[in-house]
Structure 1
Amino acid sequence: MTEAERPPQELLPGLGPESVEDLYDRAPCGYLVSLPNGTIVRANRTFLDWVGLDADALVGPTRFVDLLGGGGRIFHETHVAPLLALQGTVRELDLDIVRADGTAFPALVSIVRMEGTDEVAAHHRITVFDASQRHQYEAELRRARATAEASEEQVRAVATTLQRSLLSGGITSGAGFHIETRYRPAYDTLEIGGDWHDAFFLKDRTTVAVSVGDVVGRGIAAACAMGQLRAALRAIATSGVGPARVLEHLDDFVERLPDAQMATIAYAQIDTATGAVRYACAGHLPPLLVDAEGVATYLWEGRSRPIGLVPEARPEATATLVASGRMVLYTDGLIERRVRNIDDSLDRLARSAATGPAGEGLPALGDRLMAELLADEDHRDDVCLLAIEREAG
């Protein structure tokens, strides 16, 4: 019998149970098992070597989300955990894994939820692939494509005109405050999208409500859902309820508007006389406060899941917009890039917002943020920005 005629399993006769275990432990990818709460209960040697940890340091005291950077933890909270709950699996997530020494490497992560049985408790199986070389290849492809692509300025101008017609009607100034908004369509498409900004008075006429949101998807369906959700938020807010209750009512509203489910929203109410701010974020990136001295602070409290995902009591939080201070709300298209870590992008926005030239007005700030953060032209999403400034006392 020739080698070609022999059964495949006979070609490696020494591949017994111990060798199979070694195949798992030394696989060319990382394997982990975690409890449903994220606590890691097993990891193979490949992954331990990648992150520079011993099994005792990783297994037991560590959750998978603890291995992610700040931006990755937000993404896990707002996207990964909800998708796992809904469909039981997520595949090829582009995440940065943080090593024991504080450095990070790009990874493609897939997670499968395994239901419990009489013998085995419910758990998650996690596969991790080191994507360092893939990111290099993607960068080369993007450069090649950028060289070959023709300008699409006319297409973007049409999209901008259509989108702005849906975003009209917001206030821009009043006693004690000024507001600037900016919108830019996706770089490579004619379709209108689901990003919005809005600003309006509440009944007392001294409190200004501001919102920025993002409906999932593109095209007419997303734009229509955006328009209805924006209008519903206005109607609910003007009834006098606070930010948390506004989002809870929107959860009920989108039960009848499927295209608006999974939308993200940052919503705030600002007393222009005192600077008191109440705010809540449904799966959205945090608002940015910049005080009169140029100190930038992200508002990380008052966070909950995207709209319509799981009915729940939503939190809200408070802050203060000091005299001459500014608050910036924005959609993910302003900062998220495939070639840049989201934490770096958040830092970049904070630096840009806090380090403008002396005496820079709010219109100039809006123009500069759009110019600096979108200068690389490497964005594939709509961009909305809203900045509000409280006048000096």
Structure 2
Amino acid sequence: MSESGGPDVTQELRLPWDDDPEDLYEHAPCGYLTTLPDGTIVRVNETFLNWTGYSRSDLIGLKRFRDLLTKSDQIYHETHYAPLLNMQGEVHEIALEVVRSDRQAVPTLVNSVLERGPTGVPRIIRTMVFNATERRSYERELLSARRAAESSEQRVRVLQRIVADLAAAPTEAEVAEAVVRAPEPAFQATSSSIYLVDTDSDRLIAVASTDPTTGNWDDMPRSSTRAVAEVARRGDLHVVGTVAEAEEHFPDLAESMRRSERRSVVLLPLTTGPADEQAGMNVLGVLAFSFREERVLTDGELRVIRLLGQQAGQALDRARLYDDARRREERSSFLARTTRALDEEHRLLQRARRLVERVVPEIADWALIRLQVGPAGLVEHHGGPAPDPARIEQRTAEAVETAAPVFATDGDALGCTVLPLIVRGRVLGTLAVRMAPDRRGAEAERLFLIDLADRIALACENARLYEQERAIARTLQRSLLAADVPGADPRFAVETHYQAAAQDMEVGGDWYDAFLITANKLAVVVGDVVGRGIEAATTMGQLRSAIRALASAENGPARLLEDLDRFCDRVDSARMATLVYAEIDLLSSEVSYACAGHLPPLLHEPAGSPTYLLEGRSAPIGSRAGDRRRVEHRMRLAAGSRLLLYTDGLIERRNRPIDRGFETLAREYARLRDAPLKGLTASLADTLVGRDHGDDVCLLCLTLGAEERLERSIGADPLQIALLRADMRGWLAGHGVDTDCLNAVLLACSEAVANSIEHGYADDPFGVVDVSATISAETVEVRVTDRGGWRGGTEPPTDFTRGRGLQLIYESMDEVAFDRGGEGTTVTMRRHRTTA
């Protein structure tokens, strides 16, 4: 008892039922070992012996503690455990594996204390050993659960990312690409393939794969016995865990697995509709992915896989709706744009060409339109190699014979569809196209091509009718123009040109005429009737006939216009017609003219600049307003003068003042002063109007008498020689040159010009050849000058195996001289005239 009367806590309490301390040591819940500093066991309790199966005689004095450890732990004991114990004096909760007598390893946790003597020298080591077998199992379970949770979390994250990718993928191809990439990060699959159902062809289409060389990755009928088709029909998830299992159910899959070294395969249907109602489920495709090792999927993985199939199916359904809408919009837009483009073309072949140019490359890489009406022809355009012509001919003949489309089929090496172009039961031609294979939506593409062929057929028929009506209109127009313009008279020459409006099918009211009133009086006229169509053309013909009937040697231009005014009282449609009428006395070279509301004639005499004749003007024919008196003007023309009559289509434009048109015409007319008369009016029309003008153009150019000196400049183009020859022929005839001399001069001049073009300019079309000719009572002299560098000699050739140009010049002319200056060559030729 303590001094206070309570129990003495400094004394050890001993209860009657307490164990003996020695027994407590021997049967403690952990193992005890006492070892010398070198690890030799000197004491061990019963608990440790029971755990390990050893006896005391096996251990005490014979074994060191490190001898009871596994090989790896012995190394750890030597490199870490012993040094740490010696340095710190104690170690706690060191995980070591102790080897039992039956060679089984027991996981343990070890605490050790090093006791030292009074001098600090290590004396003994006391070690407690705890059995960690159950703890290790628990840790394994925890680790497995953690790994499972991490894997599940990873799959969920991957699935979330995939769902996000699917939501952002607008097209079927992008959805398929996102789905086929999913199994690898989500389930550690080694390869994936995706097949989509094409309801039009009732086939499964292989659209994407991470390894196309693995397995039978190709299209197949949905009725196929292959595993993918079976899953597509049934809509069930199939997990084939082994090759043996595949051999039992899917022989084709087993063969593929052996060939590609796959050990497990998952076949996942991509579906829409409720997962628990098989009847309401719609299978849009199948995702197949595989593993290189045999794989057993957990319930959690299977749930995620099924969820992936549902999400992918919904994304595919949405993308297909989007693709269909986009395709319809694109096709509708294409048809609308094509229709607008056709409005810009009216000719049949041009319209067919425009159609083909729009088809390629927008919807096809090669197309051909074969026309069997109108100006028949082929219009072909391609961005790739053309198909086999013989097979195209065969397919075209079949389409024409059956009057039905011949579509390209799966596996068709030709790859071309031929559609007949039918209007009102008649085949106008065929359209052949080669399109990139669209293995889904083929029915929609067929309907689109049929619609396109119908529109093309209608467009071609409209163009054919347009050309037919245009040809009729042109024939009527030209039949109403003068066809008997006088010619072959050395005292004058007339050149005419008529150009109809480019886009108008109706005949117009523009006309020209030239006729001899008497043997020595010439009448020329150019007019324009208001309006278009048959009535205007009829009125134009009546006016032309009336002018011929009213023209006489005594009346003159003013009197003729007065008679036309009275004519309009009976032909009301002739009112407000405009015309310029001139009479030329071929003996005196005197001209009298009158303008009834028409544009003024343009005169270019041999000397000076072009001048507009502004006198003799009055109101249009049949006008009832203002001064109705008719006036005329009389003047004498120099020999070689050129008088141009024309209609308003030549110079009037909506986007410029008419004064600008007058200036342009005068400038171009002056530029062509030295050009041959032949082709002069057509050249003016080409320069000032072009081919796309919206109004008729009518021109008449009169050359009066023969010029004293002929001067012409032509381009270095052999085609110009014929025009020069015709112009020179009229000039020589006008001066009364005899036939032999005329023909000789024409031959020599033509050869000299041809040599200048060939040798002087080497066929350079930008070169210019100047020709001048003079006539005296005794001789005709012609000079041909170029500014090029000749490649041949100037003497008559002795070798006649080549051209005979120089030889003909020397034989045709009496005198020939060549002058080679620093800037070209001049050939001077003279021919003596025959005197009576």
Which TM bucket (shorter chain)? 0.5 to 0.7
Q: Secondary structure at the match of 2:679?
A: helix
- Retained in 2: the 8 A contact 1:197–1:213? yes
Distance 2:615 2:589 in 1: 18
Q: Which has the larger radius of gyration?
A: 2
Report the counterpart of residue 299 of structure 1 in structure 2.
613
Greater than 6 Å deviation, 4+ residue runs: none
Q: Which amino acid aligns with 2:670?
A: A
Change beyond 3 A, Cα 1:298–1:149: same
Deviation, structure 1 residue 157: 5.1
What is the aligned length? Answer: 246
Change beyond 3 A, Cα 1:156–1:354: farther
Report the counterpart of residue 212 of structure 1 in structure 2.
526
Q: Of residues 223, 243, 248 in structure 1, which corresponds to 2:562?
A: 248
Residue 192 (1) aligns with residue 515 (2): no
Deviation, structure 1 residue 194: 0.9
- Retained in 2: the 8 A contact 1:181–1:385? yes
Report the counterpart of residue 374 of structure 1 in structure 2.
689
Report the counterpart of residue 346 of structure 1 in structure 2.
662
Report the counterpart of residue 652 of structure 2 in structure 1.
336
- Retained in 2: the 8 A contact 1:172–1:180? no
Q: Secondary structure at the match of 1:217?
A: coil
Report the counterpart of residue 60 of structure 1 in structure 2.
none
Distance 2:470 2:606 in 1: 36
Deviation, structure 1 residue 370: 1.1
Trace 1:1-393 onto structure 2 (pairs within 5 A).
149-152=344-347, 154=467, 158-173=472-487, 174-203=489-518, 205-238=519-552, 240-293=554-607, 295-310=609-624, 312-356=628-672, 358=674, 360-375=675-690, 377=692, 379-390=693-704, 391-392=706-707
Q: C-alpha deviations, 1:189-218, integer Å up to 9, x for none?
A: 111111110001112x11110000011111
- Retained in 1: the 8 A contact 2:346–2:503? no
- Retained in 1: the 8 A contact 2:502–2:691? no
- Retained in 1: the 8 A contact 2:606–2:707? no
Change beyond 3 A, Cα 1:279–1:190: same
Q: Secondary structure at the match of 1:352?
A: helix
Distance 1:297 1:146 in 2: 44
Q: Secondary structure at the match of 2:498?
A: strand
Distance 1:146 1:380 in 2: 19
Deviation, structure 1 residue 257: 0.3
TM-score, normalised relative to structure 1: 0.59
Report the counterpart of residue 117 of structure 1 in structure 2.
none
Change beyond 3 A, Cα 1:224–1:239: farther
More displaced, 368-377 or 333-342? 368-377
Q: Which amino acid aligns with 2:666?
A: A
- Retained in 2: the 8 A contact 1:294–1:355? no
Distance 1:247 1:234 in 2: 12
Distance 2:567 2:659 in 1: 33
Q: Which amino acid aligns with 2:550?
A: I
Q: Secondary structure at the match of 1:187?
A: coil
Q: Secondary structure at the match of 1:202?
A: strand
- Retained in 2: the 8 A contact 1:160–1:184? no
- Retained in 2: the 8 A contact 1:159–1:185? no
Deviation, structure 1 residue 239: 5.7
Deviation, structure 1 residue 274: 2.5
Change beyond 3 A, Cα 1:257–1:175: same
Q: Secondary structure at the match of 1:274?
A: coil
Q: C-alpha deviations, 1:77-123, integer Å up to 9, x for none?
A: xxxxxxxxxxxxxxxxxxxxxxxxxxxxxxxxxxxxxxxxxxxxxxx
Change beyond 3 A, Cα 1:215–1:357: closer
Deviation, structure 1 residue 151: 4.4
Q: C-alpha deviations, 1:314-371, integer Å up to 9, x for none?
A: 111123332111000011111111112110101111111111274x211221121111
Distance 1:216 1:318 in 2: 28
- Retained in 1: the 8 A contact 2:486–2:516? no
Distance 2:605 2:589 in 1: 11
**Unmatched 5+ stretches in structure 2:** 1-339, 349-466, 709-836
Change beyond 3 A, Cα 1:281–1:189: same
Deviation, structure 1 residue 152: 4.0
Q: C-alpha deviations, 1:144-185, integer Å up to 9, x for none?
A: x99961144946555333211111334242241000111111
Change beyond 3 A, Cα 1:365–1:156: farther
Distance 2:471 2:661 in 1: 26
- Retained in 2: the 8 A contact 1:225–1:259? yes
Q: Which amino acid aligns with 1:196?
A: W
Distance 1:190 1:316 in 2: 36
Distance 1:362 1:257 in 2: 37
Change beyond 3 A, Cα 1:228–1:184: same
**Unmatched 5+ stretches in structure 1:** 1-144
Q: Secondary structure at the match of 1:387?
A: strand
Q: Which amino acid aligns with 1:169?
A: A
Change beyond 3 A, Cα 1:182–1:388: same
Distance 1:376 1:185 in 2: 9
Distance 1:171 1:215 in 2: 21
Q: Which amino acid aligns with 2:344?
A: E
Distance 1:255 1:367 in 2: 36
Distance 1:388 1:264 in 2: 20
Distance 1:357 1:312 in 2: 37
Deviation, structure 1 residue 294: 5.4
Deviation, structure 1 residue 392: 2.4
Q: Which amino acid aligns with 1:255?
A: D
Change beyond 3 A, Cα 1:248–1:371: same
Change beyond 3 A, Cα 1:271–1:190: same
Change beyond 3 A, Cα 1:147–1:303: farther
Q: Secondary structure at the match of 1:353?
A: helix
Structure with greater contact order relative to length (CA < 8 Å, sep ≥ 6)? 1
Report the counterpart of residue 92 of structure 1 in structure 2.
none
RMSD: 2.2
